[in-house]
Amino acid sequence: LVQQYKQAFAKSQERFEVAKTLFPTGVTHDTRMMEPFPPYVSHAKGAKKWSVEGHELIDYFVGHGSHILGHSAPDVVAAVQEQMTKGTHPGACHDLEIEWATLVKKLIPSAERVRFTGSGTEATMMALRLSRLFTGRSKFLKFQGHFHGWHDYVTVAADPPYDSPAVPGVPDGVAAYCVSIPPNELNRVEETLKADDGIGAVILEPTGGHWGAVPIRGEFLAGLREICTRLGRVLIFDEVITGFRVSPGGAQAFYGVTPDLTPMAKILAGGLPGGCLAGRADILAFIEPRPGKPKMKHPGTYNANPLSASAGVATLKRVATGEPSRVANEMATKLRNDLNVMFAANAWPWLAYGEFSMVRVVPNFTGPRPAVAGVNNGFIPFDNDVNALDGPKNMKQVYALRQGMLLNGIDWWGTAGMTSCEHTAADIAKTVKAMETTIGMLLAEGLA
């Protein structure tokens, strides 16, 4: 398998040899790493991208989740090109930022006010700082396995092992502001908040950590809302991935639970860099200078930059129709179902699961399976054993799976993927076939 991959992606390997002399690990984002080397991509369009060797690949990375419209959507490209000629950065207020925020406010239930940032990481950092100012409490509660970017406060308990609060490079004193518990246990949330008066905010990914690796169950969101309101803590839904993807109004609109603050990015800026914090006017008010109140400083060279704004406006206009999330959800549902049917037909103990337009594949899954073959939507296959689910993966197998999928024309994100509204039933059928062939290759090499 590795030899075949090396042969088919020889030009990528050449690039990677150079990249290793430039970048630590040779890549510029941890999850772009793969062995023996990652594929290099020359261009992308719709649901496809092309490697530098010219291989056409159906793409399930979709720009780290930022393309619900697929790559290079014509309306987004036209909007960015037009803005490009008008200037990339006047360093001034402009009409597009108003149009952009108006769309956010229209779509996202919690968005009484909006502040644009450079990234999702900046948006979660802002949410936590504003929560401290609003509540006068410095700590926050997060859930094990939930990812909120890479700033110091949130890197705690994002990945296993969860029992060690130490994060390389993060001062112990900073990490101590984060209290982490497993998700889906409302009693434990209430006990933790009652026991620690210093906790001012609760942050989570509203469809589960790492976009649904361990899905959120039942009434957890509504329960958190009730507890946070009753105990006077700020509830933050990190909708960097789920915003505009799960539904036009994100997970909060879908579940009818409105948080106090919502960090967003990715689809928000239509595939260009950008993020925002949306939320309650009385909390975002701490960005304003007010007599007798502390003011949170918030500069940021690229906040609401016009290029990202132009892509964001074009994207959100289409998102508002409801079609992009509807089609992406439908395609992912089909992919999950058809994969499970294929696994069952081969008597392979693999499982596809996930919700909305997010799909995960678990090799050699031994837990309880869906009651109805092929149907797993809304089905939560796991008890709350976070470690079993999102725990250490067999990386050799993960890389081999990706190599095999690439050889069969699919860029599959390790054990997970996302769809866009450009994915078609034919793409899904090709993907299922590729997975079948790939698992056959893994079995032949003793990797599955």
Q: How far is the CB of 141 from ligand PMP (least distance, A)?
A: 16
What residues from 29 to 88 belong to the interface with ligand PMP (CB under 6 A)?
64
Residue 144 interacting with ligand PMP (CB under 6 A):
no
Angle at 312 (CA atoms; ends 309, 318), nearest 5 degrees: 145
Q: Based on CB atoms, which residue is closest to ligand PMP, 46 or 206?
A: 206
Question: Among 5, 16, 37, 147, which residue interacts with ligand PMP (rule: CB under 6 A)?
Answer: 147
Q: Locate 158 and state its tokens.
A: 């994002």
What residues from 202 to 241 belong to the interface with ligand PMP (CB under 6 A)?
205, 238, 240-241
Residue 243 interacting with ligand PMP (CB under 6 A):
no
Give the residue from 361, 379, 378 showing the smallest Cα distance to 370. Answer: 379
Give the residue from 338, 325, 303 showing the smallest Cα distance to 118. Answer: 303
Question: Among 71, 94, 148, 245, which residue interacts with ligand PMP (rule: CB under 6 A)?
Answer: 148
Q: Based on CB atoms, which residue is closest to ligand PMP, 274 or 324?
A: 274
Residue 201 interacting with ligand PMP (CB under 6 A):
no
Q: How far apart are CA 112 and CA 202, in angstroms?
A: 19
Q: How far apart are CA 140 and CA 204, in angstroms?
A: 11
Question: Among 121, 207, 252, 329, which residue interacts with ligand PMP (rule: CB under 6 A)?
Answer: 121
Q: How far is the CB of 405 from ligand PMP (least distance, A)?
A: 21
Q: How far apart are CA 166 and CA 150, in angstroms?
A: 14
Q: How far apart are CA 154 and CA 175, in angstroms?
A: 8
CA 277 centroid distance within chain: 16
Which position's Cβ is nearest ligand PMP? Answer: 120
CB 123 within 8 Å of CB 277 = yes
Question: Among 70, 120, 279, 417, which residue interacts with ligand PMP (rule: CB under 6 A)?
Answer: 120
Q: How far is the CB of 408 from ligand PMP (least distance, A)?
A: 26
What residues from 275 to 304 belong to the interface with ligand PMP (CB under 6 A)?
275
Q: What end-to-end distance do the CA atoms of the chain give, in Å?
A: 13
Q: Name residues whose C-beta falls within 8 Å of residue 116's C-beta, 6 or more positions apart in sequence.
A: 97, 100, 101, 274, 275, 276, 300, 303, 304, 309
Whose structure tokens read 């999950």?
Answer: 336
Q: Based on CB atoms, which residue is closest to ligand PMP, 52 or 170?
A: 170
Residue 124 interacting with ligand PMP (CB under 6 A):
yes
CA distances from 72 to 6, 42, 75 (A): 29, 13, 8
Residue 149 interacting with ligand PMP (CB under 6 A):
yes
Q: How far is the CB of 448 from ligand PMP (least distance, A)?
A: 28
Q: How far is the CB of 273 from ligand PMP (least distance, A)?
A: 8
CB 277 within 8 Å of CB 114 = yes
- Residue 365, H or E segment: none
CA 256 centroid distance within chain: 20
Size of the site for ligand PMP (CB under 6 A): 14
Question: Among 265, 311, 319, 400, which residue interacts with ligand PMP (rule: CB under 6 A)?
Answer: 265
- Residues in contact with ligand PMP by the rule CB under 6 A: 64, 119-121, 124, 147-149, 205, 238, 240-241, 265, 275
